[in-house]
Amino acid sequence: MTQHTDVVVIGGGQAGLAAGYHLRRQGLDFTVLDADPAPGGSWQHMWDSLHLFSPAAYSSLPGWLMPAQAGETYPDAGHVVDYLTDYEKRYGLSVQHGTRVEAVRRDGERLLVDADTGRWRARAVISATGTWSRPFVPAIPGRSLFAGRQLHTVDYRSSADFAGQRVIVVGGGNSGAQIAADLALDGRVEVTWVTQRPPQFLADDIDGRALFDVATARRRALEEGRTDTGGVASLGDIVAVPPVRAARDAALLTAKPVFSQLTPGGVRWADGSEADVDTVIWCTGFRPALSHLAPLNLRGAHGRIPTDGTRAVGEPRLHLLGYGDWTGPASATLIGVGRPARDAARALTALLR
């Protein structure tokens, strides 16, 4: 059976929910399709010790401030899942969970959305699938020869899973620093943290609130055509959340340059020396999950779909939301996705009416 609606939103995480909120305010008929069987988006798959960079009030979707978590300045991932679950109910967004979209195709004046549970004909589509389902691992020499265990950020849950092991964590971003700190503070894991370049830590008093201010300044600069984008580079990369700070201050979080290759039993360093390793955890980022849009033939350089704001340049009935700054400054964050979601809903309202 083919169902009909004004807008299909693909993805029921934070970006999809923000889109649903603003589509409802615009009075458009819409359906939200989400592959996960339960609410919470990618937050329900995060590691146990993960906490937000910002207090709850600075980590909210449009319309409703995230409640504070008792005893926590920075809420944990479970609290975010609860918030997103309640947000979905609060605004009656009726997300269809357990529905994986396989393809979006043009069908005359409509877009045809094929999923594993049915088909929808829509006047427009908002794609908000994020990046969590597309982990990236670099092509390091010897990767296929390594006999130990290889995981990505998406597979990591707890340091307890690696007790007694020799673990290398690869990646100089926030996830690499946090997972390396989690393992180092456990005390039962021999952990080595390696990065492509020396890691840069933000000052201890800088958290997500300051980062959001920077992103806001950057958006304004871009809108005004200025090259000054708010001093983003000066802020560094890694937020010194309490566990990262504790591991750093205890001299447990000193990074080494990335090894030159993997060997069957471990790694070989640039100077030719080798080390035995049981597990490599790749904290090396993600790519946009856009395979469902392949039939539209919109991809440009670097696998991205060219956009004007959130609108796909080659298909005005398609908007992309929450993939990173190229679909709206800070649009991959809880607090930052609200504005581009509002802009997408307004643009679609103007187009469809």
pLDDT given at position 6: 98
Whether residues 164 and 129 share a domain: the answer is no
Residue 210 domain-assigned (yes or no) = no
Residue 225 domain-assigned (yes or no) = no
Residue of 94 and 173 predicted with greater confidence: 173
Whether residues 60 and 18 share a domain: the answer is yes
Lowest mean pLDDT among 60-74, 178-192, 210-224: 210-224
pLDDT given at position 328: 87
- Identify the band that residue 302 occupies on the pLDDT scale cut at 50, 70 and 90: confident
Whether residues 186 and 258 share a domain: the answer is yes
Whether residues 90 and 194 share a domain: the answer is no
- Sign of the Cα pseudo-torsion (122, 125, 131, 137, in order): positive
Lowest mean pLDDT among 3-17, 32-46, 236-250: 236-250
- Sign of the Cα pseudo-torsion (286, 292, 295, 296, in order): negative
pLDDT given at position 206: 78
pLDDT given at position 236: 58
Domain that holds residue 29: 2-133+286-352
Bridge partner residues of 97 (DSSP): 34
Strands 279-282 and 166-170: parallel
- Identify the band that residue 233 occupies on the pLDDT scale cut at 50, 70 and 90: very low
Residue 342 domain-assigned (yes or no) = yes
Kindly list the strands in the beta sheet with 190-195, ordered across the sheet, starting from the edge strand earlier in the chain: 149-152, 279-282, 166-170, 190-195, 255-257
Average pLDDT of the residues in 133-152: 97
- 3 state DSSP class of 103: strand
- The CATH number assigned to the domain holding 345 equals 3.50.50.60
Average pLDDT of the residues in 206-214: 69
Average pLDDT of the residues in 336-350: 97
**Cα(213)–Cα(80) distance, integer angstroms:** 21
Whether residues 321 and 271 share a domain: the answer is no
Which one of 282, 312, 344 terminates a domain? 282
Whether residues 196 and 126 share a domain: the answer is no
pLDDT(218) > 90? no
pLDDT given at position 105: 98
Q: Which of 288, 296, 343, 342 is nearest to 128 (CA)?
A: 288
Residue 216 domain-assigned (yes or no) = no
Residue 41 domain-assigned (yes or no) = yes
Residue 182 domain-assigned (yes or no) = yes
pLDDT(229) > 80? no
Which one of 227, 260, 282 terminates a domain? 282
**Cα(236)–Cα(238) distance, integer angstroms:** 6
pLDDT given at position 246: 95
Non-local CB neighbours of 342 within 8 Å, separated by 6+ positions:
22, 62
Bridge partner residues of 115 (DSSP): 101, 118
Whether residues 44 and 85 share a domain: the answer is yes
Whether residues 272 and 323 share a domain: the answer is no
Neighbours of 52 (CB within 10 A): 26
pLDDT(234) > 80? no
Residues present in the chain in total: 353
Lowest mean pLDDT among 58-72, 212-226, 240-254, 311-325: 212-226
pLDDT given at position 330: 84
User: Which two three-digit tokens encode residue 18?
Assistant: 């923000």
User: Which two three-digit tokens encode residue 105?
Assistant: 């195709």
User: Which two three-digit tokens encode residue 241?
Assistant: 């959340």
Residue 221 domain-assigned (yes or no) = no
Whether residues 179 and 299 share a domain: the answer is no
Residue 227 domain-assigned (yes or no) = no
- Number of structural domains in the chain: 2
Whether residues 290 and 302 share a domain: the answer is yes
- Among all chains, which residue has been given the structure tokens 């969590």? 132
Whether residues 189 and 93 share a domain: the answer is no
Average pLDDT of the residues in 213-239: 64
List, for residues 266-295, the tens digit of each pLDDT value. 999 999 999 999 999 999 999 999 999 999
Lowest mean pLDDT among 13-22, 87-96, 300-309: 300-309
Q: What is the pTM of this model?
A: 0.92
Lowest mean pLDDT among 87-101, 140-154, 217-231, 294-308: 217-231
List, for residues 99-134, the tens digit of each pLDDT value. 999 999 999 999 999 999 999 999 999 999 999 999
Which one of 253, 282, 311 terminates a domain? 282
pLDDT given at position 232: 45
Average pLDDT in the chain: 93
Lowest mean pLDDT among 177-191, 201-215, 304-318: 201-215
Whether residues 184 and 79 share a domain: the answer is no
Q: What percent of the chain has pLDDT over 70?
A: 92
- Sign of the Cα pseudo-torsion (80, 84, 90, 91, in order): positive
- Identify the band that residue 219 occupies on the pLDDT scale cut at 50, 70 and 90: low
- Identify the band that residue 235 occupies on the pLDDT scale cut at 50, 70 and 90: low
**Cα(184)–Cα(140) distance, integer angstroms:** 24
